Amino acid sequence: MKERSPEILKAPGKNFRHEWKHVISASDSVTVQQRLRAVARIDTHAEGGKYKIRSLYFDNLRDKALLEKIDGVNCREKFRIRYYNDDLSFIRLEKKSKMNGLCSKESAPLTKEQAARIASGDTEWMKNSSHPLILELYSKMLSQGLRPRTIVDYTRIPFIYGPGNVRVTLDYDIRTGLGGTDFLDQDCVTVPAGDAPIILEVKWDAYLPETIRQAVQLESRRAAAFSKYAQCRIYG
């Protein structure tokens, strides 16, 4: 796959990165993990080599975010609230943007109480926030009708590699909360998101070192578009 010029990464106010996604099998996952352990290191935030991620994704009544993903719209964005390993002391509002095949992510901290208020539809407090991303979400909840849409759960095995600021992750056990939005309730019901595969993601800045390129190379596997949010909307 042809890499884009590093100059494209210099969009004002955003750090755009390259991103590959591969749909892989369980045996592929074992192979890639063995290779990566020889050249990269596990992210120090992982417990036992992995961690759980729970996100609450936003969309509007016309499914703007979902349809833009399905249609492959060149410039698009999606909002989510996320926390890791059931730790409600570290919650983030995130906006992920995609432009010309490159990705960027912005984030803002949220307290448990703030996250709960957004999830329940209590948004008036957001207009007084000092954080631009919270203000942006508030504005788009008003202008675009964005609202909490569904919970997305999965487990991630994360590797990092210094040169190129590379991050390689393997995501599996993708589950959906269907129409549920009470994502702070750690006992809320989630179900497998159809026949969701294992997803190998490779992200880097200006260049991808050959060492990592070889480690993630698999026969008959090609980079492909995949959205966990779209997969978790399989039931509606």
pLDDT value of residue 224: 78
Q: Let me know if residue 236 belongs to a domain.
A: no
Q: How many domains does the chain have?
A: 1
Cα angle 62, 65, 68; round to 5: 95
5, part of any domain = no
Q: Are 74 and 99 in contact (CB under 8 A)?
A: yes
116 lies in some domain: yes
Evaluate whether residue 69 is within a structural domain.
yes
1 lies in a domain? Answer: no
User: Is the separation of the CB atoms in 88 and 52 below 8 Å?
Assistant: no
In this prediction, residue 225 carries a pLDDT of 81
Does residue 179 lie within any of the structural domains? yes
Question: What are the per-10-residue average pLDDT scores of the chain (236 residues)?
Answer: 39 77 95 98 94 98 96 95 97 96 96 97 96 98 97 98 97 95 93 95 96 93 86 92
Q: Is residue 6 a part of any domain in this protein?
A: no
With respect to residue 100, please indicate whether it lies within any of the assigned structural domains: yes
Q: What pLDDT is stored for residue 14 in this prediction?
A: 66
pLDDT at 220: 74
What domain range is 93 assigned to?
13-231
> For 104-154, what is each residue's pLDDT tens digit?
999 999 999 999 999 999 999 999 999 999 999 999 999 999 999 999 999
| Cα–Cα separations (whole angstroms), residue 149 to 1, 62, 131, 219 | 34, 11, 23, 37
Beta bridge partners of 158: 169
**pTM (2 d.p.):** 0.91
Give the CATH number of the domain where residue 111 resides.
3.20.100.30
Alpha-carbon span 111 to 53, nearest angstrom: 17
Q: What pLDDT, on the 0 to 100 scale, is given for residue 20?
A: 94
